[in-house]
Each structure stands twice: as structure tokens, then as C-alpha cells.
Structure 1
């Protein structure tokens, strides 16, 4: 299915802002600057894969095989959208570190 440029740009922006916001809030509450950057790959796997999460522990060979197949079949637009979410999570960590360095204390 073709995705228009407008939809792609809006999706990239939404994923960036969404994961920046979630990461910023988690970093403020948990006081761990990079928590969302570590959690994001798990979220991305859950978005991409259609296998139940428990199957990664019970039937690992099948689950990781399916994950590899699904990741290799992603379109460039999907990869860009997922990478923008990762960029938002990393940016949230950088912003929190800069704010704490400049004297702002979050909670």
C-alpha cells in the first residue's frame, strides 16, 4: 500500500512527539535518563511482530524467526517512522540530562 508524503511526514512527527513525551515523563518520574531509549526496542518489536510476547520465551526459535521475517519485509516508510520514535526517546533523555545539568530538578 502506498503512503503519501504528507501522511509519512505527519506519522514521523507524531511518533517523535509521542515517544519524546512518554520518555520525558518517564525520565522525570523514575529519574532514569535513558529508560525510554531502553524500552523503545521492545515497543517497536510489539508494534512490528504479530507473535504473542510470551512466545519469545516458550517458542523462541519460531518467534525470532517470525520477527526477522517481519522486520526484513518492512517498507522504508515504516522504518523511518519507527526510527523517528527512537529519535524522540533519545532526545527526551538528552533534554532531561541538559535540564538537570542546568539546575532544573524534576520531581
Structure 2
């Protein structure tokens, strides 16, 4: 269980950092969330897909250990967009 908590924290921090940097470079607030949902999640599912199992079998093969870090990474991407929006509202033009 400790490894899951550490993985969740690392994925949150990693996606927050990547999202914050992408927001600064591209000046788009919610791009990291879209990137995560449209690119990273499908790639993660694609590389773990087993052709021997059915669609439902593949989806039920994921356990909470697989899902929790992905959810916290999505939350990290969302929080980076929220932080960027708050900084822009605060008058920081750099962000």
C-alpha cells in the first residue's frame, strides 16, 4: 500500500510540473488535461492491451493499483491548469 501512495504522489507531482511548464510555454490553460485524456491514457491502455481477452476482460484486468495513479495524474494536470489560471487572474503576465 505504501508503494501505491508514493506512486500516486509522484504521478501527481510529475503531471503538475509538466502541465505547469506546458502552460507557461504554450499559454493554454487546459492543454495538459486534454493531452492526458487524449494521448497518455489511450497509449497506456494500448500498451497493456491483451488480444487474447475480450474488451470487458481487458477493462476488468486493471486493478485499483493501476487506476489510482492515473486518477491522481489527471488531478495533477487539472491542478496545474487551475494554478495557472489563478496566477493569470492575479496579474502575473509571465504565466
TM-score range for the pair, normalised by the shorter chain length: 0.7 to 0.9
- TM superposition score normalised by structure 2: 0.84
Gaps of 5+ in 1: 52-62
- TM superposition score normalised by structure 1: 0.75
Give the aligned partner of residue 76 of structure 2: 88
Gaps of 5+ in 2: none
Aligned residue runs from structure 1 range 24-103, under 5 A? 24-41=20-37, 42-50=39-47, 69-103=57-91
CA contact 1:49–1:70 (8 Å) conserved in 2: no
CA offsets 1:48-86 (integer angstroms, 9 cap, x no match): 3228xxxxxxxxxxx9x9776533321012111100000
Q: 1:13 aligns with which of 9, 12, 16?
A: 9
Tell me the matched-pair count: 91
CA RMSD between the two structures:
2.2
